[in-house]
Structure 1
Amino acid sequence: MNGRSFLELVEIRTKAASVIPFIMGTLYALYRFDSFYAGRFALMLVSLLCFDMATTAINNYYDFKKASRTYGYGYETHNPIVRRKLKESVVVGTIVLLLLLAAGCGLLLVAQTNLLLFLLGGLSFLIGILYSFGPIPISRMPLGELFSGLFMGFVIIFISAYIHTDGTLALLTLERGWVHVHLNLVETIYLFWFSVPAILGIANIMLANNICDIEEDVENRRYTLPVYIGKEHALTLFRLLYYVSYADLAVLLLMGIHPLLVLLPLLTWIPLRRNLAKFTARQEKAATFILSVRNFVLLNAARIAVLGAALLLPR
């Protein structure tokens, strides 16, 4: 497997869906708690990227193995394993190596922080594997948008902020057989609402993908959300999630960020609405699916810019 085949197998272009929440959580910790650890930052980045690439490769491998119809619907071009004529043994070996790297860096990070990270990281690993693997993967059920949005949009942001807080946000301790979990509820609620654009943006990436693949998914017995509710209702939900994603602007104001900076995310509505209209008119994997990724980047890059500017300005 050469470098280009590897990048296609792991769909490197989609990694913004994990890297952007990671950056958002890091900047949140810097702004809210004035805390940052470079070593922990690097370990989580490597673990996160390796695991994200592994789950994508697993998804492509599982689709390759489970495909009921191996012609039409662009089968010869959609799956990188088929398109690049990759050996199954090489694909499986790549997946195992990525998982080992992700787990190794994750355990090193747990050793530097708290057992709560082991719990959250372990749960994330489990959901990530079950998302693409098992008798009935989550991605083949109408729950893909919910799980991908919550875990990639909120849990990643929570963990990437948590590793810099030294227990200010949450803490898990073991004492004489008792497990004690301490959670700063107010800060966690703030962090959740701050994560809303990431949660809904990632959910919409999955929703857009499933809308584009609805005919192929029915053929391959993959019963995703659009298959259950129909394409028109799925498109309505797609639009609604973007409208709701602007609700977190109030949270930025409550955090003490200057109102003029908060106006910046509002400007993203202009290009986002244009992309929304294009996707509503035409749902094609090769042509318009990328618009959901661009919308996700628009929504959340604006929040990153706001936090970055707020860090530079006197409070």
Structure 2
Amino acid sequence: MKKFFELVELRTKVASMIPFFIGTVYAVFRFHEFQLYSFGLMFLSLLSFDMATTAINNYFDYHKAVKKKGYGYEVHNAIVKYNMKPSRVLALIIGLLLLAIGAGIMLVIQSGLLVLLLGGLSFAVGILYSFGPIPISRMPLGEIFSGLFMGFVIIFVSTFIHASDGLASLTLLNGVVSLQIQLMEVLLVFFISIPAILCIANIMLANNICDVEDDVENKRYTLPHYIGKSNALLLFRFMYYASYLDLIVLYFLGVNPFILLLVLCTVIPVHNNIGRFAAHPTKQHTFGLAVKNFVLSNVARIAALGIAVLMTI
């Protein structure tokens, strides 16, 4: 189990689970709806697929590595660290994908075609992140794709499976596809998602900043390679502070001011962690601070929405 948890990097699954819970609590807060069966199916599909994509990423990094010495290859990649058989890793990946697809199909039957569209698109991006002639992870697009799909799409779908027509609907009747969107409600979900979008993008950016030299040797040309390490660190700072500007938007959209005060309490530890990472960005010692910042600011959002639910009751 220890080898499995390191292969799928279980500790990083907060990047998908926290947006999932944000969307769930928001659905209860905004629409007063909670569908336990749909909740369980999405949880199983999302967690299985997230673990599968991480394992795929490690599998292809193992095969494509040019530099075979250093922290990134010898310690961070569990396949090398535990001398795993690639065939067994591949079998595990296939098993996780089948579990994710099975639960996803059941969720589509339960919640409708829009879940099929967004889920299928998310599956494609997740696979193409590590697979193909030019994977997303080897281009300067990882931050955009990870932020939008893990930060916004997960929150949207995890809200939609409870709220359904309160957000949008996609129907197929007599060969005609009809998409209806409750524009203001979708925009509100997007504004709720902004901190998750930016913080998840920053996890990717922090990872690429730490690995920029090794990545070039392994022919991975990520965003820090193109804009430079110093500019990447400035962007890293900016995205955290921009996530707090979202509070102003939420205030004008009628979110309870008490919620804003609760989330603002995370500014100081987040600011301190930004400084520590910028001073010494390494995968081994400070990369975890980006994950910690994501957890701090977004768990505060979950707590705030939970309090709002109790207040409405």
- TM normalised by structure 1 equals 0.97
Q: Secondary structure at the match of 2:180?
A: strand
Corresponding position of 2:136: 138
Counterpart amino acid of residue 288 in structure 2: I
Q: Residues 171 and 183 of structure 1 are in contact (CA less than 8 Å); yes or no, is this contact kept in structure 2?
A: yes
Contact 2:41/2:107 (<8 A) preserved: yes
Residue 218 of structure 1: aligned partner = 216
Question: 1:118 maps to which residue?
Answer: 116
Which residue identity does 2:285 align to in structure 1?
A: A
1:71 CA displacement: 2.0
Contact 1:73 1:216 in 2 (8 A): no
- Give unmatched runs, 5+ long, in structure 1: none
Match of 2:51 in 1: 53
Partner of 2:193: 195
Q: Secondary structure at the match of 1:309?
A: helix
Query: Contact 2:71–2:284 (CA<8 Å) still a contact in 1?
Result: no
Stretches of structure 2 lacking an aligned partner (at least 5 in a row): none
SS of residue paired to 1:165: helix
Deviates more, 1:67-76 or 1:207-216: 67-76
Structure 2 distance, partners of 1:106, 1:254, is 36
- Taking structure 2 as the reference length, the TM-score comes to 0.98
Which stretch of the first structure deviates more once superposed, 72-81 or 105-114? 72-81
Match of 2:279 among 278, 281, 296: 281
The Cα of 1:69 is off from its aligned counterpart by: 1.6
Among all aligned residue pairs of Structure 1 and Structure 2, give the percentage whose two residues are the same amino acid: 60
Single out whichever of 12-21 and 63-72 deviates more from structure 2: 63-72
Instruction: For residues 41-74 of structure 1, give each alpha carbon's deviation from its aligned partner in whole angstroms, at most 9, with x where no partner exists.
Output: 0000000000000000000001000001212355
Q: Which residue of 1 aligns with 2:148?
A: 150
Give SS of 1:68's match: coil
AA aligned to 2:305 is L
Cα 1:188–1:76 shift into 2, 3 Å = same
Deviating more after overlay: 242-251 vs 261-270:
242-251
SS at match of 1:257: coil
Within a 5 Å distance, the mapping from 1:151-170 to structure 2 comes to 151-170=149-168
Contact 1:142 1:225 in 2 (8 A): yes
SS in 2 for 1:285: coil
Q: Quick one: distance in 1 between partners of 2:167 and 2:174?
A: 24
- How far apart are the structure 2 equivalents of 1:72 and 1:23? 36
2:101 corresponds to: 103
- Which has the higher mean CA deviation after the structures are superposed, 149-158 or 163-172? 163-172
From the superposition, tell whether residues 307 and 255 of structure 1 become closer, same or farther in structure 2 (CA, over 3 Å). Answer: farther
- Please tell me whether the aligned partners of residues 191 and 250 of structure 2 are also in contact (alpha carbons under 8 angstroms): no
- Aligned residue in 2 for 1:261: 259
Change beyond 3 A, Cα 1:214–1:289: same
Figure out how many residues of one structure are paired with residues of the other and give that number.
313
2: distance between equivalents of 1:162 and 1:239? 32
Decide whether the 8 Å contact of 1:190 with 1:251 is kept in 2: no
